[in-house]
Amino acid sequence: MVDDQGELRKLVRMTLEFGGYELHEAGYGERALELATVIKPDLVILDVMMPGEIDGYQVCEQLKKGAFEKVPYVILLTAKGQASDLQEGDRVGADDYLIKPFSPLQLIDTVKIALQ
């Protein structure tokens, strides 16, 4: 889970902890890429707008380039919901796109489908 808002990370953690998922958290893009190198996640839930040198689109693009041993499923979870934002998500290789505010049930369903 990558989001600069600790409250949102907490909500996602509480939503997914009942599914028995192992969850790691990062507050900005650079840290997300560091963790991905070590953890090799199956799935990344990623905000777009974050502080630091790289945004969520750039993180997604780097995760999907194949520079990582394992290419994770990427769900962009963001307030950016314009058509151009969705197109940018497609361009960088995001597998799914959820717009904030989101339904916790929708997130659970999306994660379950992604990890099948």
pLDDT in tens, 47-101: 999 999 999 999 999 999 877 778 999 999 999 999 999 999 999 999 999 999 9
Residue 58 forms part of a structural domain: yes
Which CATH number is 35's domain given? 3.40.50.2300
Q: Write down the pLDDT at residue 10.
A: 95
Residue 1 forms part of a structural domain: no
pLDDT tens, residue by residue, 84-96: 999 999 999 999 9
Burial of residue 50 (CB within 10 Å: 0-12, 13-18, 19+) is buried
Residue 103 forms part of a structural domain: yes
Residue 13 forms part of a structural domain: yes
Q: What is the mean pLDDT of the chain?
A: 94
pTM of the entire structure? Answer: 0.94
List the domain range (segments joined by +) for residue 14: 6-114
- Over residues 20-49, the mean pLDDT reads 95
Count up the domains in the chain and report the number. Answer: 1
